[in-house]
Amino acid sequence: GATSPAASATGATPLLREIFGFDGFRPGQEEIVDAVTAGENVLAIMPTGGGKSLCFQLPALLREGITVVISPLIALMRDQVRALQEVGVTAGALTSGNTDEETEAVWQSIEEGRLKLLYMAPERLASGAAMGMLRRIGVSLIAVDEAHCVSQWGHDFRPDYLRIGELRRALDVPLAAFTATADQETREEIVEKLFDGEAPRSFLRGFDRPNIHLAFATKDSPRRQILEFAAARKGQSGIVYCGTRAKTEALAAGLREAGHAACYYHGGMDAEDRRGVETRFAREDGLIVVATVAFGMGIDKPDIRWVAHADLPKSIEAYYQEIGRGGRDGAPAETLTLFGPEDIRLRRSQIDEGLAPAERRGADHARLNALLGLAEALKCRRQTLLAYFGEAAEPCGNCDLCDQPVDVFDGTTAVRKALSAILRTNETYGSGHLIDILVGNITDRVRDKRHDDLSVFACGKEYGKRQWQAVFRQMMGHDLVRPDPERHGALRMTEAALPVLRGEQDIALRRDTISSAKRSPAVKA
């Protein structure tokens, strides 16, 4: 396309990971980052929480010179400056809240040519001195947050915002304006006041990719599940994402045995082999690439008809980005994401054992929870997905849950039993032993610990092992319990479990996962 995806493949995506610690772009971000980096005038309308700050921070790092960020919210500017400084980006703010030392530090970094982002309150633009200063210091981009403040008819009108147009003319640099207010009149006013009526490149598109069919399934035999999914789509181009390199190789071999054209792709291959796969995939019809997340950056094949995840992705953003590689041509594309308790454990421990600071780890858990919530969703997946990105939607008619609504039942009693088993054993065991207690299995460990004396022993005979596993998995999905990585995955309750234990909150469980597990013979928990 016109905004070459290669631009972000080479520049933006590595920075996205290294500096900001994100796995992927959120909907819409990549296109905006590309356009702003390329120096286009941009007006982007994004819902609150959609991640607009990244859309000027990342281009600021990729462009020469200083990016001036105009924002009316001093506290927010200070937060952003602090967050950027923490990850090693030279940023500063000139606001009325500054101490003299802070202002001095900003000036010094400008003089040393180190400053990348300069946040300013609009009031500053009222002084001729500030305008003169901005002319001298090598500004190469103006970013305007809360751009609707320029609208005289809106609630948030800031007269000083009217000076931004003047600043743009004086500096003659590109301007990127951001707002969450989408109505037509406000947009027109922004274009008139900030861009002198010359239409900027506008990003208004919602996040939805309606042609992509969404589906999740619990993982019981992933190899068979993926082979079946591929068999039903023989001859179509598809991607299978796997959690490990070894799996990509094994699954590609399995697909070839089943008569598909398939190859694998992962970061452990040398660059030439990887390029070979990329080229084949771009040119050939009906090739399946079985890959780790290393595959995807810069892939611009429009007619990928399906994307499957043999393992649960890392976060809801990663999921959205990976399935988003399907159906770029607008024709129907299908997806299938497999998930099981092992995935949840693995992803949690990756977060806990990672080197990220505690704050970021908390956010990573929350993003994983959002994905698990989507996996265990009880109504339209697209509604659930879009709600996470701040967009309201009607039931879509193009997801597994719209195709076949799930049957839910009140699982409060079962969940309470499981929680009591955890409590009575002091949060020291994983689901295997807890299930032995619930179903009344006298194992060596049960005998050793005298857990057969507990009041919860054998209180869950109505279900078998597989069914209890499904209950525990859904409890993890609801974030009622989390495995403790320091105690071999012992399940611990979260705050969210308390209201359930106290009888203040009910929990709905999916009947299908419970009843499909019913007749299977005893399987190792």
List residues binding ligand ADP (CB under 6 A): 22, 25-26, 29, 46, 48-54, 317
Q: How far is the CB of 509 from ligand ADP (least distance, A)?
A: 29
Name which of residues 346 to 385 contact Zn ion (CB under 5 A): 380, 382
Q: Which does 26 bind (CB under 5 to 8 A by kind): Zn ion, ligand ADP, none?
A: ligand ADP
**Residues 521, 293: Cα–Cα separation, whole Å:** 35
Q: How far is the CB of 382 from ligand ADP (least distance, A)?
A: 19
| 193 closest CA partner among 154, 131, 143, 147 | 147
Closer to Zn ion at the Cβ: 347 or 382?
382
**Residues 175, 167: Cα–Cα separation, whole Å:** 10
Q: Which does 50 bind (CB under 5 to 8 A by kind): Zn ion, ligand ADP, none?
A: ligand ADP
Closer to ligand ADP at the Cβ: 50 or 341?
50
Closer to ligand ADP at the Cβ: 15 or 458?
15
Amino acid, single-letter form, for residue 247: K
* Matching residue, tokens 């406000």: 186
* Matching residue, tokens 């101490």: 99
Closer to ligand ADP at the Cβ: 319 or 463?
319
Closer to ligand ADP at the Cβ: 21 or 432?
21
Give the tokens for residue 194: 């900030």
Helix (H, G, I), strand (E, B) or coil at 36: helix
Q: How far is the CB of 235 from Zn ion (least distance, A)?
A: 27
Q: Which does 382 bind (CB under 5 to 8 A by kind): ligand ADP, Zn ion, none?
A: Zn ion
Q: Which does 396 bind (CB under 5 to 8 A by kind): ligand ADP, Zn ion, none?
A: Zn ion
CA distances for 495 relative to 48, 479, 492, angstroms: 27, 9, 10
Q: Which does 314 bind (CB under 5 to 8 A by kind): ligand ADP, Zn ion, none?
A: none
Residue 66 zone, left/alpha/beta (φ > 0; ψ -120 to 50; rest): beta
Q: How far is the CB of 348 from ligand ADP (least distance, A)?
A: 17
Q: How far is the CB of 87 from ligand ADP (least distance, A)?
A: 11
Q: How far is the CB of 315 from ligand ADP (least distance, A)?
A: 7
Q: What is the 3-state secondary structure (H, E, C) of 144-209?
A: ECCHHHHCCCCCCCCHHHHHHHHHHHHHCCCEEEEECCCCHHHHHHHHHHHHCCCCCEEECCCCCC
Closer to Zn ion at the Cβ: 22 or 319?
319
DSSP letter for 296, please: -
CA distances for 2 relative to 7, 35, 53, 455, angstroms: 11, 10, 24, 67
Q: Which of 74, 253, 363, 402 binds Zn ion (CB under 5 A)?
A: 402
Give the tokens for residue 162: 């009217």
- Cα radius of gyration (the chain): 26
Closer to Zn ion at the Cβ: 26 or 382?
382
Q: Which does 28 bind (CB under 5 to 8 A by kind): ligand ADP, Zn ion, none?
A: none
Q: How far is the CB of 355 from ligand ADP (least distance, A)?
A: 18
What angle in degrees, to the nearest 10, is found between the helix axes of 465-477 and 431-439?
Answer: 130
Q: How far is the CB of 382 from Zn ion (least distance, A)?
A: 5
Q: Which does 161 bind (CB under 5 to 8 A by kind): Zn ion, ligand ADP, none?
A: none
| 150 closest CA partner among 36, 51, 203, 72 | 72
**Sole window of 12-20, 75-83, 238-246, 398-406 interacting with Zn ion (rule: CB under 5 A):** 398-406
Chain residues in the site for Zn ion (CB under 5 A): 380, 382, 396, 399, 402
